[in-house]
Structures are given as C-alpha cells and as structure tokens.
Amino acid sequence: MAVATGRRVVFIGDSITDGNWGKGDGKRSSDRNLWDRNHLYGSGYMYLCATYYQGYFPERGYLFFNRGVGGNTLGELADRWQEDVVDLRPDVLSVLVGTNDISRYLHWLMVSAAVEKPEFDFAGWEKTYRRLLDEARRANPDLKILLCTPFAAPSGAVVEGIQGEYYPLRQQLLAQCCAVIERIAADYGAALVPFHRLVAGLETALPNGDATYWVWDGIHPTPACHRRMADCWIEAAARSGAME
C-alpha cells in the first residue's frame, strides 16, 4: 500500500471535531478503529476539509488525523496531547476547544450551593493553551497552526429551562475565550478560524425561521453548518498558506 508523504495535518478538539470518527463514541484515540477508511474522519467539518484537500490535490500526499474526542475540555486535550499531537508529528495543527470548558463551569454554577462562586479561570486556561502550543512547536519548529474559536447559538437545550437563564453568561464567557484565542493566534503567528463570527452571521438569516437549522442544540452544528465551517477553515488556511 502506498503511504502518503505530504503534509501531516492534525485536527484536535471536542465533539464538534470528533464526528464519531473511527466509530469512537467518545473513546480515546488509541481505542478507536484506526484502519477502516470509511470512518477515519467522522462526519463533520474536519471530514469535509480532509476530503477537499485529498480529493482535489491527490498529488500533494496529504495525511489527515482526526483527534477530536466528544466532551473534552482544554485540560483533557492536555492529558492526551503527547499521544494525539506530539507523537503524530504534524506539519499543520488545528485546535477547536472551549465549549465544554464553559459548559462545565456553567453546570457547576447551576448546581453549586456555594455562596462564593469563583469566576472562570481565564488566566489559567490561556496558560495551558500556550503551553500545549509550545510543546507542539518544540517538536516541530516549522509547525503551522490554525486556532478555531468556540461558539454557541440560541437554539435547543442551551436556551431551555435553567440553562436558558445562563445563556447570556455563556455567550459572554465564550466571547472571552475567543478573545484569548485571538490573542494567542497573534502571538504565535497562527491562522485564526473565526467560527464564532461565522455562526453569529448565519444566525441572522435562519431559513424559514428555523432556529435549529445551523446549530441544532445550541452547541453542535448541523451538516449545513459543518459545510460552512469547512469553507471557513479552508479560507483561513489559504490566507495563511498553512496547507501549501
């Protein structure tokens, strides 16, 4: 079997990247099906990005790896960073994380009886994010990086019941995550993939007024949104020259 010899591209993140790649259902990468080519990439924006480059530029020998795991926070990415990033020796690294960090913090606020409720630790979150990128860059000083921003939309579970009461705070905290990521991208010379702006723009024109058309539960994109996210990623990669 011929082995691809071009750029090695790793996508790491949570369920939005995962897309049940390798029939994983939340499993760690090493416990998934790594040989079945029908299921290597899952069913989301990562799949569409990989098929674009491999379909239209077969001569470049791109090799893609989906390393999204549903439910992951930044800390959980850190726990598997060596295996799922460094050991794969990527030439291009794409990161999408943040949604679960904010969701877990909000869940804690909802159920906690504590009088003193500490704010989300953005300083610690940023420090961890930078440390992971530093580790990846030490392994490959020429690494190209694309940093994707997290998002939410006013649909489904996040605007229902008690969660709905916290939706404005969710958006505020996600906006702060995005600001951190933009700052890191600038400092590391990384390409920014502004998914939060993309989704906000899509939500201003909902087909037939369907609030779930782009993001069905407030967090997870529909196939239509994954298509637009893939376009956004490909455009950011083209502007930065990351895939050339």
Checking if the pLDDT of 2 tops 50, the result is no
Contacts of 35 (CB under 8 A, 6+ apart): none
Contacts of 90 (CB under 8 A, 6+ apart): 8, 9, 10, 65, 136, 140, 143
User: Is residue 95 classed as helix, strand or coil in its secondary structure?
Assistant: strand
Structure tokens at 47: 């799949």
pLDDT score at 115? 66
Q: pLDDT digit string (tens) for 85-140?
A: 999 999 999 999 999 999 999 999 998 866 677 899 999 999 999 999 999 999 99
Identify the band that residue 6 occupies on the pLDDT scale cut at 50, 70 and 90.
confident
In the chain, the percentage of residues whose pLDDT exceeds 70 is 97
Q: Is 119 exposed, middle or buried (0-12, 13-18, 19+ CB in 10 A)?
A: exposed
CATH, domain range 8-240 = 3.40.50.1110
Across the range 189-211, mean pLDDT stands at: 97
Q: pLDDT digit string (tens) for 194-204?
A: 999 999 999 99
Across the range 14-25, mean pLDDT stands at: 87
Contacts of 109 (CB under 8 A, 6+ apart): 117, 166, 169
Q: Are 100 and 174 in contact, with CB atoms under 8 Å apart?
A: no
Q: Is 23 or 139 the better-scoring residue by pLDDT?
A: 139
Backbone angles phi, psi at 72, to 5 degrees: -75, 145
